[in-house]
């Protein structure tokens, strides 16, 4: 039963922080709430026996991506509350559309047939060793491809962010 309580607690935190990301006034706060949201999701990962992924998640998202976001926000000096907002009408249209999408997705989820639960033989499904084995045997080629993707992204972002010089 404790796991149930933990799940609902984490779920409540996730939803609340996600809402705060969307509705908080300042981008800085949004970033902070998003970090909190990611931590709660990491908690879900631990609950789901994906320990390695939880760690990676925190390192990559909270540690790298969100720090990058934060730096950008500060760099662009967006920490102002004078950020322009949409009209009430378009906001409500957005909320209604999002809600309708939620309903439709929910309906879609309900109509799916979930497979039976099959218990894994060992407890270390989500450990580094298992994930690593999977990654370097079955998924070797995609794994190597990601490095190409990273190179491209790195070069691309450097080129884009560089101050344009008159040629």
Partner 1 sequence: MSELVNTSTPQNWYLLLSTLLFSIGVMGVLIRRNAIIILMCIELMLNSVNLLLVSFSAYAGNTDGQVFVFFIMVVAAAEVAVGLALLVSIYRNLGSTDIDVLSKLKG
Partner 2 sequence: MEQFIQPINLIAPSLWVPLLPLLGFFLLTFFGKQLKSAGPWIASLLVLGSFLLSVYLFVNLGNKQSLDYDVFTWMHWGEVSLNFGFLIDPLSLIMLLVITGIGFLIHLYSIGYMHHDEGFVRFFSYLNLFIFFMLLLVMGNSYLIMFIGWEGVGLCSYLLIGFWYTNDAYNDAAKKAFIMNRIGDLGFLLGMFFMLFYLGGLDFATVLSNAAEFEKGAPLLVVITLLLFVGAMGKSAQLPLYTWLPDAMAGPTPVSALIHAATMVTAGIYMIVRSNILFSLAPFTLEVVMWVGVATSLFAAIIGIKQNDIKKVLAYSTVSQLGLMFAALGLGAYTSGMFHVVTHAFFKALLFLGAGSVIHAMGGEQDMRRMGGLWKYIKVTAITFLIATLAISGIFPFAGFFSKDEILAAAFHHKIVWVLLSVSSMITAFYMFRLFFLTFFTSFRGTEEEKHHLHESPWTMTLPLAILSLFAIGAGFLGMPAVMHMPHWFNGFLAPVVETSKSILGEAHHVDHNTEIMLMLLATALAVTSIVIAYVFYVSRKTVPEPDTETKGLAKWVAKKFYIDELYNAVFVKPMMVLSDVFHVVIDKLVIDLFVNASAWMVGFTGRTLRLVQTGNTGFYLFIMVFAMMVLLLIQLVQ
Interactions with partner 2, residue window 84-113 (CB under 8 A):
86, 90, 93-94, 97-98, 100-101, 104-105, 107-108, 111
Least Å distance, CB 27 to partner 2, is: 17
Residue 108 vs 159, nearer CB to partner 2? 108
Q: From the list partner 1, partner 2, none, which binds 107 (C-beta under 5 to 8 Å, kind-based)? A: partner 2
* Residue found by looking up tokens 């969307």 in the block: 22
Least Å distance, CB 150 to partner 1, is: 6
Q: Do the beta carbons of residue 27 and residue 83 sit within 8 Å?
A: yes
Binding string, residues 114-133; x marks residues near partner 1 by CB under 8 A: xx-xxxx--x-xx---xx--
Least Å distance, CB 99 to partner 2, is: 11
Interaction of residue 22 with partner 2, rule CB under 8 A: no
Residues whose CB is less than 8 angstroms from the CB of residue 66 and which lie 6 or more positions away in sequence, other chains included: 31, 34, 35, 38
Q: Which of 123, 24, 38 shows the shortest CA–CA distance to 83?
A: 24
The Cα–Cα gap between 13 and 2 comes to 17
Interaction of residue 144 with partner 1, rule CB under 8 A: no
Q: Do the beta carbons of residue 50 and residue 126 sit within 8 Å?
A: yes
Residue 5 vs 107, nearer CB to partner 2? 107
Interaction of residue 9 with partner 1, rule CB under 8 A: no
* Residue found by looking up tokens 């997705």 in the block: 105
Near partner 1 in 30-69, by CB under 8 A: 30-31, 34, 37-38, 41, 44-45, 47-50, 52-53, 56-57, 60-61, 64-65, 68-69
Q: Do the beta carbons of residue 13 and residue 36 sit within 8 Å?
A: yes
Q: Do the beta carbons of residue 119 and residue 125 sit within 8 Å?
A: no
The Cα–Cα gap between 136 and 140 comes to 5
Residue 159 vs 167, nearer CB to partner 1? 159
């Amino acid at each position: 039963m404790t796991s149930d309580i933990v799940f609902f607690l984490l779920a409540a935190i996730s939803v609340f922080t996600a809402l705060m990301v969307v509705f908080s006034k300042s981008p800085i706060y949004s970033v902070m709430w998003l970090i909190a949201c990611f931590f709660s999701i990491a908690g879900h990962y631990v609950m789901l026996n994906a320990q390695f992924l939880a760690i990676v998640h925190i390192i990559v998202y909270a540690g790298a991506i969100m720090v990058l976001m934060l730096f950008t926000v500060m760099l662009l000096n967006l920490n102002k509350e004078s950020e322009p907002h949409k009209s009430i009408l378009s906001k409500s249209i957005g909320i209604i559309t999002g809600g309708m999408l939620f309903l439709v997705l929910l309906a879609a989820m309900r109509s799916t047939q979930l497979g039976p639960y099959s218990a894994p033989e060992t407890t270390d499904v989500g450990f580094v060793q298992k994930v690593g084995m999977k990654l370097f045997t079955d998924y070797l080629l995609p794994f190597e491809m990601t490095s190409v993707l990273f190179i491209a992204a790195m070069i691309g972002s450097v080129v884009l962010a560089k101050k344009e010089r008159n040629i």
